[in-house]
Chains A and B, each alone.
Chain A
Amino acid sequence: MRREIVSPEGFRQDGRRPEELRRSHFRTSLFQQVDGSAYVEQGNTQCLVTVSGPREPQMRSKSLPDRAVVTVEYAVAPFSAGERKGPLRTNRAHTEVAASLQATFEAAIMTTLFPRSEIMICVQMVQLDGSALATAINAVSLAIIDAGIPVTDYVTACSAGYIGSDPVLDLNYLEESAGMPQLTLALLPRTRKIVTMAMEQKLHLDHLEPTAEMCEEGCLQMYQQMNAYIASASKLATLITPSA
Chain B
Amino acid sequence: MLHNHVFLRKTKKGSVAKIVKEHYLRTDIACGSKACTTCTPCKRANLAEALPPFPGSQVGEYIVPDTNVLFHHLDVIEHPSISNLVILQTVLEELRHRSFQCFQRVRRLIDDPDRHFYVFSNDFHAETYVPEPAATASTTAVAESPNDRNDRAIRRAVQWYNAHLAALHLGAVLVTNDVANRQLAVNDGIPALSLRDFVQKLPGSVPLLDMLGAAGDDPTAPSSKDAVADASRLATVYPEHAAPASIQAGIATGVYQMGTLHISPHNFQEATLLADVNKQRVEVLISGRMDLNRAMDGDVVAFQLFPKEQWKSIVSKVQEQEDDDEAVGSDADAVDDDDDDDDDDDAAADANASASSESLLMPTARVVGIVKRNWRPLCGTLEAPPGFKQHVDAAREHVIDPIQSAFFWPIDKRMPKVRVRTRQLRHLLGQRIVVALDAWPQNSRYPTGHFVRVLGAVGDRAAESEALLLEHDIAHAPFNARVLACLPHQGDRWTVDVDTIDKPDRVDLRHLAICSIDPPGCTDIDDALHARPLPNGNIEAGVHIADVSYFVKPDTPMDIEASQRCTSVYLVDKRIDMLPTLLGTNLCSLRSNVDRLAFSCVWEMTPAGEVVSTRFHKSMIRSQASFTYDEAQARINDTSMNDTLSTNVRLLNQLAKALRKRRIAAGAVTLASPEVKFRLDDKEQQDPVDVEMKELMESNQLVEEFMLLANIHVARKIQQAFPDAAMLRCHPAPPSNRFDALIRAVGQRGFPMVVDTSKHLSDSLDAIQLPEDPYFNKLVRIMTTRCMQQAAYICAGSVNPSGYWHYGLATDIYTHFTSPIRRYADLIVHRMLHAAILRDGQLARDRMKRLADVLNVRHRNAQMASRASIVLFTNLFFRNKPATEEAYILRVLKNAVIVLIPKYGIENAVVLPKASLAKCDFDEKDIAITWPADAASQTRAGKLALFQKIKVHIEIVHQGPEAAQRLQLQLTLVDPPLPAA
Residues of A whose CB lies within 8 Å of any CB of B are 1-3, 7-9, 11, 14-16, 20, 22-23, 43-44, 82-84, 129, 163-164, 172, 174, 179, 202
Contact = CB atoms under 8 A, between A and B. Distances in A.
Contacts of A83: 13-14, 16-17
A179 B842 contact: yes
A8 B107 contact: yes
Contact of A82 (B4, B18, B103): B18
Contacts of B96: 1, 3
B66 to A, nearest CB: 19
A22 B119 contact: no
- Report, nearest first, the 5 A-B pairs whose CB atoms are least far apart: A83-B17, A15-B24, A82-B17, A15-B124, A14-B22
Interface residues of B, number: 36
B940 interface: no
Interface in B1-50: 1-2, 4, 6, 13-14, 16-26, 44
B19 A84 contact: yes
B22 A20 contact: no
Contact of B100 (A1, A8, A22, A23): A1
Contacts of B842: 179
B503 interface: no
A7 B88 CA distance: 13
A84 B25 CA distance: 25
B847 interface: yes
Q: Which residue, B111, B124, B844, has most C-beta atoms of chain A within 10 A?
A: B124
Given A8-B107, A9-B119, A23-B6, A15 B21 contact: no
Name A's interface SS. Answer: loop
Interface in B70-112: 89, 96-97, 100, 103, 107, 110-111
Contact of A9 (B20, B103, B121): B121
Nearest to A174: B21
B555 interface: yes
Given A1-B100, A83-B17, 18 more contacts: A1-B96, A3-B96, A8-B119, A9-B44, A9-B89, A9-B121, A15-B22, A15-B24, A16-B2, A23-B2, A23-B6, A44-B20, A82-B18, A83-B16, A84-B17, A164-B555, A164-B556, A174-B21
B564 to A, nearest CB: 12
Contacts of B1: 20
Contacts of A14: 21-24
Contacts of A2: 847
B210 interface: no
A172 B23 CA distance: 12
A11 B24 CA distance: 10
A232 B222 CA distance: 66
B123 interface: yes
Contacts of A20: 1-2, 24
10 contacts: A1-B103, A2-B847, A8-B110, A9-B89, A11-B124, A14-B21, A22-B22, A83-B16, A83-B17, A172-B22
Nearest to B3: A15
B685 to A, nearest CB: 43
A15 B111 CA distance: 21
Given A8-B107, A20-B1, A23-B2, A15 B16 contact: no
Contacts of A174: 21
A20 B24 CA distance: 11
Nearest to A44: B20
A44 to B, nearest CB: 5
A1 B850 CA distance: 9
Contacts of A44: 20, 22
A182 B21 CA distance: 20
A220 to B, nearest CB: 15
A43 B22 contact: yes
B17 A15 contact: no
A163 B554 CA distance: 10
A1 B4 contact: no
A19 to B, nearest CB: 10
Nearest to A81: B17
B39 to A, nearest CB: 14
Q: Which residue, B19, B89, B97, B847, has most C-beta atoms of chain A within 10 A?
A: B19
Contacts of A22: 22
Contacts of B121: 7, 9, 11, 15
A129 B20 contact: yes
Contacts of A172: 22
Contacts of B123: 15
Nearest to B15: A83
Interface string B40-66: 000010000000000000000000000
Nearest to B97: A1
Nearest to B13: A83
A14 B25 CA distance: 9
A34 B20 CA distance: 31
A22 to B, nearest CB: 7
Nearest to A82: B17
B890 to A, nearest CB: 43
Contacts of B24: 14-16, 20, 23
A131 to B, nearest CB: 12
A166 to B, nearest CB: 13
A172 B6 CA distance: 14
Contacts of B25: 15
B4 A15 contact: no
A215 B845 CA distance: 32
A33 B4 CA distance: 33
Q: Which residue, B2, B14, B25, has most C-beta atoms of chain A within 10 A?
A: B2
A126 to B, nearest CB: 13
Q: Which residue, A15, A20, A164, has most C-beta atoms of chain B within 10 A?
A: A15
Interface in B105-157: 107, 110-111, 119, 121, 123-124
Contacts of A15: 22-26, 121, 123-124
A56 B103 CA distance: 65
Interface string B160-178: 0000000000000000000
A14 B17 CA distance: 20
A178 to B, nearest CB: 9
Q: Which residue, B17, B24, B103, B840, has most C-beta atoms of chain A within 10 A?
A: B24
A169 B24 CA distance: 15
A127 to B, nearest CB: 8
Contacts of A82: 16-19
Interface string B413-453: 00000000000000000000000000000000000000000
A5 B427 CA distance: 47
B838 to A, nearest CB: 9
Q: Which residue, A83, A172, A202, has most C-beta atoms of chain B within 10 A?
A: A83
Given A11-B124, A83-B17, A23 B23 contact: no
Contacts of B555: 163-164
Contacts of A7: 119, 121
A7 B110 CA distance: 13
A22 B13 CA distance: 25
Q: Which residue, A7, A163, A202, has most C-beta atoms of chain B within 10 A?
A: A7
Q: Which residue, B14, B22, B103, has most C-beta atoms of chain A within 10 A?
A: B22
